[in-house]
Amino acid sequence: MKKPPRLEEIRRDIRVSPSIYSRRLAEKYGYLPYMVERYISILGVDETVKLLEAFEKPLKPVVRCNDLLIDCRELADRLEALGFKLREISWSSGSYRVVEAPRSPSIGATHEYLKGYYYVHRDAASLIPGILLTHGYSGDILDACAAPGGKATHMAQLIHGRGRVIANDLVLYRLKALIGHVMRMKLDNVIVLWSDARKLPDLIDERYDRVLLDVPCSGEGTIMFDPGRKTRTTIRDLAVIVRREIELLNAGLEMLSEDGILAYVTCSIAPEENEYVVHRVMMDRGDVEIVEPPLKLFNWSSWLTTYRRHVFPEEFKKCIRIWPHRHGMIGFTTCLLRQRG
């Protein structure tokens, strides 16, 4: 496995010098200045303001029907009878945005929820990688950083009867939540592991045709849920996160079988955690290429091909970037990768 880069090297690559205008915007919306400077360099001033405004607006949760236990139309009717107003998500079968909710019960405390008839996602963006990875696929999937289980249980439904999900995580309290969801939803094709994903290549002989790597990240795309993320991650903190993401991506690629596909996923809009990480791994290894998504679910944005002094491969246009102000979802990215033989 490749030796991870030094923190000093990463900090040098991602260091910025905020302008006066970005400082004023950062002060108005409560951000660290380097974050707003970054947004302006990518989007321009006007669209940056739209992004910052989008982060100020809460998002409604999403219900994903467990069609192994109940007909999804019946579930929608039962929830609407309880006072929930649902809007179907056109690109994800059996998924609904909760547009309105009664005072009681909450969407996570209904009889139907306790029976395992659905999973509650904070947003629809997390449905994207599971749909792409399982499209036309039969076989096992490794979810290397799986807890609390939204994507793992989604994929377990999608490949039920055709494969298993090996769901791994390191954080015990999150792993307990994953096990709880698997049991509640009565999914019998999930195997749970407890390990640092970076150690999996040395611990497991098996290699997989599909790997989901939803890396622990800054969470910069989820500011609408957690405003503290506006100031939580300094440049030094970001360098530490990026180094771990590089290590995780290298390990995830080692878990791929020949011609296998890995989905690299973050809930961050920071190019340091997305374009930079993938490009760095591609340059260090020399055996990684981008895979075109098998479906175009909706009109998403693509990854950046330039960012400040960095020039990224043109094939990054195949990778998926979700912007809150453009797509009405959290900030989210997905990129499909494979190793060249």
Catalytic positions: 267
- The set of residues, in sequence order, having a beta carbon less than 8 Å from that of 320 and lying 6+ positions away, is 128, 293, 300, 301, 302, 303, 333, 334, 335
- The set of residues, in sequence order, having a beta carbon less than 8 Å from that of 318 and lying 6+ positions away, is 290, 291, 292, 293, 302, 303, 335, 336
What is 185-208 written as a DSSP string? TT-SSEEEEES-GGGHHHH----E
> What's the residue count for the chain?
341
Phi, psi of 27 (to 5 degrees): -65, -40
Check: CB of residue 205 under 8 Å from CB of residue 180.
no
The amino acid at residue 226 is: D
Give the H or E element holding residue 291.
strand 288-291
Q: What is the distance between the alpha carbons of residues 67 and 20, in angstroms, rounded to a whole number?
A: 53
Closest CA to 226 of 58, 83, 52, 35: 58
According to the 3-state scheme, what is the secondary structure of 293-323? CCCCCCCCEECCCEECCEECCHHHHHCEEEC
3-class SS of residue 244:
helix
According to the 3-state scheme, what is the secondary structure of 119-136? EEECCHHHHHHHHHHHCC
Q: What is the distance between the alpha carbons of residues 292 and 132, in angstroms, rounded to a whole number?
A: 10
Check: CB of residue 155 under 8 Å from CB of residue 181.
no
